[in-house]
Amino acid sequence: MAQLSITELAEADIVGVLSHTLERWGAAQYARYGELIELALADLAANPGCGGLRSEIRHGLRAHHIKRPGRNARHILFYRVERDGHVVVLRLLHDHMDFARHLPE
């Protein structure tokens, strides 16, 4: 299992997404979506190569769609894998956002 860290931007994204979910859809959906995010993070730690390469946006960038049973959810974890195998989660972005604009250089 790889070591995983989450940047401050990604932490803020997660808090924002979950806050919006709670306000818009209530506590039950908040809990379900939080669990989906946790499962996606666990997937990255267990298999850092599970996300697709998105080098057209940034060199070495990977993207992992959060999954609902049977389909993708609307948010994507963007991350990179360091040479030592450490996974760094950079952002959690909605799938309609301009990724290049919102990802750090």
Q: What domains lie within the chain, and their CATH numbers?
A: 4-102 (3.30.2310.20)
Angle made by CA atoms 57, 93, 54, in degrees to the nearest 5: 25
**Three-class secondary structure of residue 85 per DSSP:** coil
Residue 22 has which token pair? 């709670």
Tens of pLDDT, residues 8-66: 999 999 999 999 999 999 999 999 999 999 999 999 999 999 999 999 999 999 999 99
pLDDT for the residue 32: 94
Say if residues 17 and 100 touch (Cβ distance below 8 Å): no
The pLDDT score that the predictor gives to residue 69 is: 74
Residue 72 has pLDDT above 80, yes or no: no
What is the pLDDT confidence band of residue 71, given thresholds at 50, 70 and 90? confident
pLDDT in tens, 82-102: 999 999 999 999 999 999 999
